Amino acid sequence: MIDDDELNAWFVREVLPLERALTSYIRRNWRVPEDVAELRQDIYEHSLIGARRALPLNARAYVYTVARNHLINNAKRARIVPIDTMADLDAVHHDIDMFEAERALTARDELRLAKEGIDKLPPKCREIILLQKVDGMTDREAAASLGVSVETVRRQIKLGMKALFDHMAGGSGRIVRKRYPRRADREVLP
C-alpha cells in the first residue's frame, strides 16, 4: 500500500499534467459537454484508488485506460447508447494496454504446454481429445467417427483431461488408471 504523501506527489507529478489532454479526450468521446468536469474528477478518483495499491509505471497509459473504462461503464449505464459512441471508444487507445505483450507470451506458453501434454497422450485418447475439444464433436459423433462406444469416448476424455491437467500443473501428464488386483493375486475365501 502506498502512503498518502507518495501518492499525492505521484498524482501532482504524473497525472495533473495530463489534464488538458484528458479533458480533450473526454470531450471527443462524450456527447454531453456539461458532464466533462465531473467525469474528469471521477477518473482522477478511480486513478487514485487504483494507484493506492501500486504506482503504475506508465501513468499516461494508466489514466487513459481508467478514462476509457469509466466512459464505457457510464455509456452502458445510460438508457440509450448511440452506436457511434461505443465505436469511438473502442477505436481509441488500443495501444495503451500495458499488459498485452505479457498476456500474449503467457498464452503462447500455455498453448505450447497444452500441445506438449496432448502429444504425450496415447494415440486413441489423443484423437478423441482432439475430436471433442478442438473440432467440437459430441460424444456420439466422436464415437461414430472412430467406431467405438460412447462409453469408451467418455472414459478416454476423462482420463485424457486428467492427464492434460496434470501436465499443465507441472506433473508427468501420464494417464493413471485404477489398479484392480489380478485374479491370481486375490485371496481365496474358504
Q: How many domains does the chain have?
A: 2
What does the angle CA 135 – CA 137 – CA 142 come to, to the nearest 5 degrees?
115
One domain for residues 93 and 146? no
Domain residues for 123? 101-168
Same domain, 56 and 38: yes
The reply to whether the predicted model has a pTM over 0.75 is: no
Structure confidence by residue, pLDDT tens digits, 95-151: 455 556 667 777 788 888 888 888 999 999 999 989 988 888 899 999 999 999 999
Is 79 contained in some domain? yes
Burial class (CB in 10 A: 0-12, 13-18, 19+), 26: buried
- Residue 87: pLDDT band (50, 70, 90) is low
- The answer to whether residues 86 and 132 belong to one domain is no
